[in-house]
């Protein structure tokens, strides 16, 4: 890989100086003709002052993803150091594998490694890259993960890049990857499919929020909308939930939910799985029929153009969802849409509940858990927004 000196236009350096990890192509002056994806960029201000270094993605609007490189350090050595540093941080929080042995080992920009995600599941790692510029460094990432996590048996890479037609998903370390990987979360048993599951296989970011629902579930009924693999449901039953309905439009997801219920000995007639569209189910649902309603839909927007559409969707979902909550019951509503800010989401929830005629108070606002750190200057990082409400 070549190293290029890239100079920013006037007034384009301020976010980078504050530590933001993205440098957009439009922010630079004339670019070298021989610039290639995977090359190294040394970024300078318009006054020719060195700001920092990163890797180049020539096919992305984000031309350079900045990496905190120490003085005299190469990009390769920086990546090696940052991976080990990220894993060390997780070991401080997950020191009891008998309780929890699945966590996010690398959270992209939050760990100084923009575009890189690695989730650890009891000896298996699901690896994702969101920029082709990282591909030349994957062997370094794999080595650092293996050095830092000695019990790794498998590393499976799944790329989330629209342009990466040649970068197919594959097992990059280990042999004979099991169809299912079993792991523990707060003492509960789950399994995940690294090959066919969504994203990296399981939504680890909601771990503490599932525990929150577990803590308030004793003797209560639960409706879990967009339940996916049933993790909120399993947590609620562990907390003493007497009955539940888990709804998802995807039958394969509910098959996974059934498997997770069975793993914990919770599968019985009190806990139903329903294949249905979330709006269709809520429209037919008897009003004030559940003690707890969980609304955890997938992302409502693919890009910024979908922002207003996503806001309308959240308003509608919370309008319909709150109707199903008993007097004095709880509504936990979440958004993982990065294009929707926390305040915009809160306003959509307010509008939806307000239109229903119900009254609600905020018990707790929630975020993704501590193995999903976000860079202080990266305002796009905190994507997960959650609100636990008491409804009257």
pLDDT at residue 200 tops 70: no
pLDDT at residue 354 tops 60: yes
Handedness of CA 30, 36, 37, 41 (dihedral sign): negative
| Integer angstrom CA distances of residue 151 from 10, 67, 145, 155 | 49, 28, 10, 11
Quick one: pLDDT band at residue 363, thresholds 50, 70, 90? very high
- pLDDT given for residue 165 in this prediction: 46
Q: What is the pLDDT of residues 251-261, one digit of tens each?
A: 999 999 999 99
Mean pLDDT confidence for 311-319: 97
User: What's the rounded Cα separation, in Å, for the pair 137 and 159?
Assistant: 14
pLDDT at residue 343 tops 90: yes
Q: What is the pLDDT of residues 144-195, one digit of tens each?
A: 999 999 899 999 998 876 554 445 689 999 999 999 999 999 999 999 999 8
pLDDT at residue 89 tops 70: yes
User: What's the rounded Cα separation, in Å, for the pair 199 and 205?
Assistant: 12
Mean pLDDT confidence for 270-281: 97
DSSP three-state, residue 58:
coil
Buried b (16+ CB within 10 A) or exposed e, 185-219: beebbbbbbbeebeebbbbbbbbebbbbbbebbee
Give 197 or 131, the one with higher predicted confidence: 131
Q: For residue 330, how many C-alpha atoms fall within 13 Å in the half-sphere facing its CB?
A: 20
Instruction: Kindly report the pTM of this predicted structure.
Output: 0.93
Tokens standing for residue 34:
């021989």
User: What's the rounded Cα separation, in Å, for the pair 189 and 110?
Assistant: 28
DSSP at 201: S
DSSP at 82: H
Q: Beta strands 124-129 and 116-121: pairing type?
A: antiparallel
């Amino acid at each position: 890989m070549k190293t290029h000196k890239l100079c920013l236009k006037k007034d384009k350096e301020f976010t980078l100086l504050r530590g933001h990890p993205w440098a957009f192509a439009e922010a630079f002056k004339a670019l070298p003709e021989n610039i290639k994806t995977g090359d190294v960029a040394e970024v300078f201000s318009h006054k020719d002052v060195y700001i920092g270094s990163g890797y180049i993605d020539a096919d992305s609007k984000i031309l350079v993803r900045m990496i905190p490189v120490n003085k005299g350090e190469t990009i390769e050595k920086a990546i090696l150091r940052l991976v080990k540093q990220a894993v060390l941080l997780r070991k401080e929080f997950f020191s009891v594998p008998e309780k929890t042995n699945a966590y996010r080992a690398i959270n992209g920009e939050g760990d100084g490694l923009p575009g890189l995600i690695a989730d650890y599941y009891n000896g298996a790692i699901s690896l994702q890259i969101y920029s082709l510029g990282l591909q030349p460094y994957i062997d370094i990432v794999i080595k650092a993960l293996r050095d830092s996590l000695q019990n790794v048996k498998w590393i499976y890479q799944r790329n989330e890049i629209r342009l990466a037609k040649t970068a197919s998903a594959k097992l990059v370390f280990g042999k004979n990857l099991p169809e299912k990987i079993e792991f523990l979360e707060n003492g509960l048993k789950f399994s995940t499919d690294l090959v066919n599951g969504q994203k990296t296989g399981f939504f680890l970011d909601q771990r503490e929020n599932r525990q929150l629902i577990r803590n308030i579930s004793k003797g209560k009924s639960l409706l879990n909308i967009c339940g996916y693999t049933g993790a909120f449901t399993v947590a609620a039953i562990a907390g003493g939930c007497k009955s539940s309905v888990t709804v998802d439009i995807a039958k394969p997801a509910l098959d996974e939910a059934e498997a997770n219920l069975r793993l914990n000995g919770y599968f019985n007639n009190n806990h139903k799985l329903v294949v249905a569209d979330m709006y269709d189910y809520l429209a037919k649902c008897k009003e004030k029929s559940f003690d707890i309603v969980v609304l955890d839909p997938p992302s409502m927007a693919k890009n910024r153009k979908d922002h207003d559409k996503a806001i309308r969707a959240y308003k509608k979902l919370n309008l319909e969802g709150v109707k199903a909550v008993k007097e004095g019951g709880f509504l936990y509503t979440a958004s993982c849409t990065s294009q929707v800010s926390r305040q915009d989401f809160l306003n959509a929830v307010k509008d939806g509940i307000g239109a229903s005629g119900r009254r609600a108070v905020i018990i707790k606002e929630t975020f993704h858990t501590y193995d999903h750190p976000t860079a202080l200057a990266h305002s796009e990082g905190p994507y997960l927004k959650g609100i636990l409400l008491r409804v009257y």
